[in-house]
Each structure stands twice: as structure tokens, then as C-alpha cells.
Structure 1
């Protein structure tokens, strides 16, 4: 089992800071293996789940399936959605739609929810998101005296900036979370710019949510270059999610092209993800508009949910590419795999992703990627592969042109990306996670569990939580 990604202690942060990540000593495999119970029962808590599709959902489904192959069990606590299939491994909580791409907001934690989790007899609680379901996971770990693992999937600073969330709104959420967690509201330094104050509030909220964790996971070192995680070094782990692609027949790619009116000889630039502001769609559309001047037969395919259709339409019109762009909406995994098979180059203009699972999916399909984010390009399972174009639309367009017009170069980069992605398989991901869970179990001593259980009883006496 390759445990190089399990990088704890201060050497991990120093290596990230100095660009020397490869020199960090891995954990001892034998010691890690001793920490893993023969059959683990992990309770996962997430505020996003199918039918919605995003990186958290993808990594969760991959992880639970791979853990099952190792003989471990998973319970997923999720917001209820009418389109979810009946599944005994799902604990579905009452939720209400938010009007945003099938996202639903679950009710605040209640004692009865923790009791339902307790009946499943978990060994470990794993929290994936910072919403109400994630908060319930923290309460469940406290109340039941269980080890708590949290993954920092989402760059919260970047999302707060992308949507320009007002500081007063973030401060109100922080106050609410502090009250629910039985903690005093953190003091936010006065002064500074709007962005600095927004970041300070987000960081304070992150500190509240991660305070109890026995292990905090980051998918790539990129996140540590963007924000400060208020976590002791010996609780911090690097755990890149492994991904896989559904098996599809050879004709799936050509059929995808026919279905969407794309000619067999047209060169396709593909994007997969939410077609929204935080994903850099404005950079991609402007770059593709420039590309079309030199590669006339190029087509742009955007696969993913469209939250603001008028905004997207305006971008396409400004770039003059309405007739050269295919918007598919959200697709099931088999159709996404067909989109990869139908394409020549993958474009990833996002500056907010902590890992970019779709980049790994594209690599498995043999597609080279053009990226905007230097930190993401330099870290993770595919570190250094693909082409870093930055955020200048002209440079991004030139990078796409180089790949589209040079088949040998494109094939070489695609083959290297596939080789690297195959090493980070779902099975390897599950082994890493099992080792981390084992370490969390070991860390959560009896004394720590008693303290956590005692803390957990306080908030649940509140009528706000029991009602």
C-alpha cells in the first residue's frame, strides 16, 4: 500500500511552503495497518448527494464502493430528495429545495437524528461538507464519543469571493454556528478590506467546524497555498480522491457527437462541471472565441448544470460562439464518459477547485488538460501534467490551439496523464482512507471520547435542537 499521500506532522507544511513535497517521509505502512479495524463502519455526512452531481458526490460514491470491496461498511447521511433511489445505506433527512441545481437544505440537527445514526453502530464519523448535515456529523461524533474525520473539499474563501457574499451575512452564519456548537463567537479583527474581512470570517467558521476533528483531510496541497487551515500539523493528512470511469462501448464517443450535431472531423474542447461563475466559464468562453479565429472547426462542449442561463448566454454571445457551443446540462456518468471519448482536449479554467476530479476523469480517457490554476497544476495525482495557461484568455486560447493542431503532442500529454491517473485508483484511495480512519480511531483515546461526549450533551439539551 502506497502511503506517501498520508503526510502528517510539521514536515508536511514545511514541504508545501518550500515546494519540497516529494521529500516528505511517508507514514510507516506496518504501523498504519495495525490501526485499521478488520471491518470498519463509517458514517459519512454530506449536504450534497444525488441526483445532484459534484466533486463531493463523486468522491463519496467512489470511496464507499471501494471501501465495500475491502470489506468495510458505509452509512451516508444526506438531504432527502424525491429522485433518490431506496437504499439501506442511506439515512435521508428532511430537506427543502433551494432552487439551485437540485441542491437541498436539510433541517438543523436534532437528537433523534443522532439516535438513528447510533443504531447503525459506526466506528468513525466522516464529515464532508460544512452545512447542516455536516454539523449533525460533528454533533454525532460528540454525542457518541466517536473519532471524527473531516475533509476540506471546498475552498470556502474562493466561493465566498466568487459570489461576493456580504460580511454581515457570513457573520450571521458564524454566530449561528458558534451558538449551535456551544462555543463563543470568534473575535474578528476590525479594519481591513472587504475581502480580508470576508476571509477572516470564513477562516473563523472553518476553525469552529474543524476544532473536534481527529483527522483533517485535504485532497491536494493546493488548498494549503490558498488559505490557512486552523489545524494542528499532526491532524492534517493529504488524501487525493481516486476516480474511475464507467465502461462504455467503442461507439459511445461517435454516438455522442452525432446526438449533439458535432461532425466526425470537428475538434472538440470539453468542459465538465457546473457551468457557473466560480468555475471560470467567462475565461473559457473568451478564450474559445479567440481560438475560433484560428481553428475554425473547433467546437466547445459544456457538460454540467447551468445555474444562470442568461449569464451563460450573454457570455456566448459576447464571444461570438453561440453556434459553436453545445450545452448538454447535467448528464449521468455513462454519458459523461461518452463526452470524454468524443473530445480532443479538456479545458479546466476554474480557480476554486481543491482537486478537480474531472481532470482525473479526463486523464483516464486519455485527454490532456489546459488549466488556469497554477497551484492545482503543480499538485495532486496529476502534478505537472497537462498545460498551465493561467488566466489570460489569449494564453489559454494559444494552449488549446497547440494541442488541437498538434496530434502527436496531444497524444503524448494524454498518455502521460492517463498513466498518472491510473496509479491513483479507487482501490488505492480506499486503502489510504482505511489507514487514516485507523489512525483517527487510535488518536481518539478514551479520555478524548469522554470529553467529546460530555460536550455533545450540552447543545442537545437546547430546545432549539430538540424541537
Structure 2
């Protein structure tokens, strides 16, 4: 099949959306598909080398430094898409480029698939400044997807403000995203948590729960030793690791507060936070105000290919976020046989409480207690790490791409019954039925 990926996030940025897309692209092409990617240019001087990637002119986003806002679509770009004769469109973000993909699919009667990568309902409570963009998206949604007068009335209702800015944001997200999703032939969610959320919004399109596949990030003993030297961590010290965006939506205040409790129990523990973010200064200041400030390290952004050494270095991977949809970093940590302590119970197929990790509630006391349990019992931590690695090995990029391929073929067959397909194997069909039940 000739598949078009439309997204407002892609390489060289390495967030969850970009990494999921790139891993899926690579594996789908190995399976014989042709994948064409449409994404914003990271800057004006960027020269794209990949043959099947089309970049849109873009400017720096208002709310986030690493977000690129595509301001227009040159006519030549549409002509380029026409020449590709796509069989299916899959958009990964509800932004400008994602909506261009949805518009193109509906205009030319192509199968339309989307993945709900980001929990926007939770996200907008942390960044209320995105409201104007979310309102604009909701108003334009029925025009982009070809909705009728009923859909347009719903979209206009989003303009009416609420007393609470958070509630207004969430109302707009719920109604706007439901309009968009109901115009799709298939909506993919990466976890049962998001399937339940969309089902609660009365999403009528078919929903499939399909986590993104993740492969092991290799590491070596020399690489781990180099990472230890870089961070100034002694051989007898224990490492609590976080990898991800440094932002309020990741609940990092909880992690820093929890680590202060861990630090009081002994002087061997270190907290390392890896990742970029616009709120880096805020959390550095919080850490600096603690009594264990000299044991908390922020490294900034690291190349994804280099993360294997840091995962292997860690004794515990701590993930406090409650607004993620699947948390690929949890899978990456599991590949390194690092046990996980996390708060959200409904986003990972890797972590089973007491088997491959521990779940904590949203208090610093309980979160710190679960971390300390593993630091104090290395044998139990090793056993949980091994169990997590075994589970991660069942969710590889190749395995999940094969399931995605079968979902594509089944969806496309509704448009072209004569198209040769291998059918949807039982594992995918079960996931779809489970998604319907959860909804």
C-alpha cells in the first residue's frame, strides 16, 4: 500500500509521536509498504534528505519552543500528493498538517486513519494558553472533514466560554476531537485508558487499541561507565531515573518531592532527569530548594540512540505522569531490565504491579516508598526488571507494525473490495473488539 503519514511532529524532534511514526515507517516499509511523510520543516535552512519526506514551511510555535506551526500549504505540495496516488491517509496530530491530511482524504475519498497520541483533555489544563488554537481547530473541524450542519452547530458551541478556563479548554477538546474522530474510518488509541476516554465522548468510528512498538536501545559496559563518569555518580550510588519532557504535565513536582523522602533514608540515592522542556528552570529551582539539591541532576536533551546507557545505569525508572497515553520511555526502560515505578495504571502493557514494576498513588510519601522498596531490595528489583524485559520483547516495533499493516488492509478493503489483503488476524481483531467493549 501507499500510505501517507501527516503530522505536525516528526524528526529531528524525538518526542513520542515522532519516534512512534519513524519506527512504524521503517517497519512498514520492511513489510513492503511505501510510506510518505508530510511534516513541518524544523527551520528555514533545513534540507530534507529522506526521499519520501515532504516538509511544509513552518515558523516557531507560540507556546512551545520546539513546536513548529505550518502557516500555509504551497499548491505544489498538493500536486505532489496527487502524484503519489495514496491508498490511505493516516494523520498523527490534529494540527495544521494533520488536518490537511484529513481534508485530502475526505476530498479524494481515501480511507482515513488517525492515532490519538496525546491526551489533549488533560494536557490543556497545564497549558491554558493553547485555547485559541484548540477553539480554531474545533470550529474548522467540520469544514475540513466535510461535516454537515449538525456538526457545524456543535463546533460553534465551543466558542461559548465557560467560567473555568480549564473546563472551557476541555469542552473544546472533547467536542472538537469527537467531530474529527467521527469523520475517520479508524481511530487508533495506544492504551485502554484512551480507548475508554474516546468511548466516553461518544466516538462512533471504529476504535482499535494498538500500543506503539518499541525496540531495545543498545548499550555497552563502556557506555554505561562513561555515563556514570559524565554524571559524577559513584559505583556505590543508586540511580533513580526519569526520561521525558521537563514540563508540568509530567507531574515532576511529585517526583522531586518524593525523592526528598528517598534521600532522607540514606545518602546513596541520586535522581537524574533527562529531557528538554520549556519549564526546565522551574523544576531546577524546585530541586535547588531541597535539602538534597546536590543529588538531583538535570541533563537536558539526549539523543535517543544514547539513552540505552542511562537506562542500564538506573536502578529504578520513575514515571510520575498521569497525562501520557502510553509512555514509550517506560518500554525503553523495561528493555534495559530496569524496574518501573509509575502512577498511571492504565497506559502500559509492560508494568504489572508487583511483577514487572510497582504502581504508586499520587502522593510523595507513597511514590517515595515504592522507589525505596526497590532500592532496598536489589534482588526483587532485578527480578522485576527481567519480567519487564520479557514483556517489552513482545511489543517490538516489527510486531506492532505488522498489526498496524493488517488494520490498514482491512480498512482499505472497505473502499476497494478487490484489493488483495491477507485479512486481519485474530490478535488485531481481538484488540478491536476489546476497544469497542472498553468504549
Same fold? TM cut 0.5: yes
Equivalent in the alignment of 1:61: 22
**Cα displacement string for residues 141-180 of structure 1 (whole angstroms, at most 9, x for unaligned residues):** 1233211110011111000112235867643442244455
TM-score of the aligned structures, taking structure 1 as reference length: 0.81
- Which of these residues, 118, 122, 130, is aligned with residue 94 of structure 2? 130
Structure 1 residues 207 and 112: CA distance shift in structure 2, 3 A: farther
Structure 1 residues 143 and 218: CA distance shift in structure 2, 3 A: same
- Which of these residues, 12, 32, 50, is aligned with residue 11 of structure 2? 50
Partners of 1:179 and 1:144 in 2: how far apart?
15
What is the aligned length? 404
Equivalent in the alignment of 1:249: 220
Is the contact made by 1:266 and 1:299 (CA closer than 8 Å) also made in structure 2? yes
Structure 1 residues 166 and 247: CA distance shift in structure 2, 3 A: closer
Is residue 411 of structure 1 aligned with residue 382 of structure 2? yes
Structure 1 residues 304 and 209: CA distance shift in structure 2, 3 A: same
Equivalent in the alignment of 1:262: 233
Equivalent in the alignment of 2:183: 212
SS at match of 1:292: helix
Is residue 203 of structure 1 aligned with residue 166 of structure 2? no
Is the contact made by 2:27 and 2:397 (CA closer than 8 Å) also made in structure 1? yes
Is residue 116 of structure 1 aligned with residue 80 of structure 2? yes
Within-5 A mapping of 1:218-367: 218-226=189-197, 228-232=200-204, 235-367=206-338
- Once the two structures are TM-superposed, the CA of residue 107 in structure 1 deviates from its matched residue by 2.1
Is residue 144 of structure 1 aligned with residue 108 of structure 2? yes
Equivalent in the alignment of 1:174: 138
**Cα displacement string for residues 237-272 of structure 1 (whole angstroms, at most 9, x for unaligned residues):** 111111013333221111111012111221001111
Is residue 79 of structure 1 aligned with residue 40 of structure 2? yes
| Structure 1, unpaired ranges of 5+ | 1-39, 447-467
SS at match of 1:326: strand
Partners of 1:169 and 1:101 in 2: how far apart?
16
SS at match of 1:374: coil
**Cα displacement string for residues 215-238 of structure 1 (whole angstroms, at most 9, x for unaligned residues):** 1000110113445344226x1111
Is the contact made by 2:246 and 2:280 (CA closer than 8 Å) also made in structure 1? no
Equivalent in the alignment of 1:107: 71
- Once the two structures are TM-superposed, the CA of residue 427 in structure 1 deviates from its matched residue by 1.2
Is the contact made by 1:373 and 1:388 (CA closer than 8 Å) also made in structure 2? yes
- Once the two structures are TM-superposed, the CA of residue 68 in structure 1 deviates from its matched residue by 1.8
- Once the two structures are TM-superposed, the CA of residue 74 in structure 1 deviates from its matched residue by 0.9
- Once the two structures are TM-superposed, the CA of residue 375 in structure 1 deviates from its matched residue by 2.4
- Once the two structures are TM-superposed, the CA of residue 371 in structure 1 deviates from its matched residue by 0.5
- Which piece of structure 1 moves more, 158-167 or 205-214? 158-167
**Cα displacement string for residues 300-324 of structure 1 (whole angstroms, at most 9, x for unaligned residues):** 1111103123211221123333311
Is the contact made by 1:118 and 1:144 (CA closer than 8 Å) also made in structure 2? no
SS at match of 1:375: coil
TM-score of the aligned structures, taking structure 2 as reference length: 0.86
Partners of 1:84 and 1:402 in 2: how far apart?
50
Equivalent in the alignment of 1:428: 399
Partners of 2:403 and 2:253 in 1: how far apart?
37
Is the contact made by 1:52 and 1:101 (CA closer than 8 Å) also made in structure 2? no
Is the contact made by 1:53 and 1:330 (CA closer than 8 Å) also made in structure 2? no
Equivalent in the alignment of 1:89: 52
Structure 1 residues 365 and 42: CA distance shift in structure 2, 3 A: same
RMSD (Å), alpha carbons: 2.2
Structure 1 residues 194 and 98: CA distance shift in structure 2, 3 A: closer
- Once the two structures are TM-superposed, the CA of residue 295 in structure 1 deviates from its matched residue by 2.8
SS at match of 1:119: helix
Is the contact made by 2:322 and 2:343 (CA closer than 8 Å) also made in structure 1? yes
Equivalent in the alignment of 2:433: none
Structure 1 residues 112 and 166: CA distance shift in structure 2, 3 A: closer
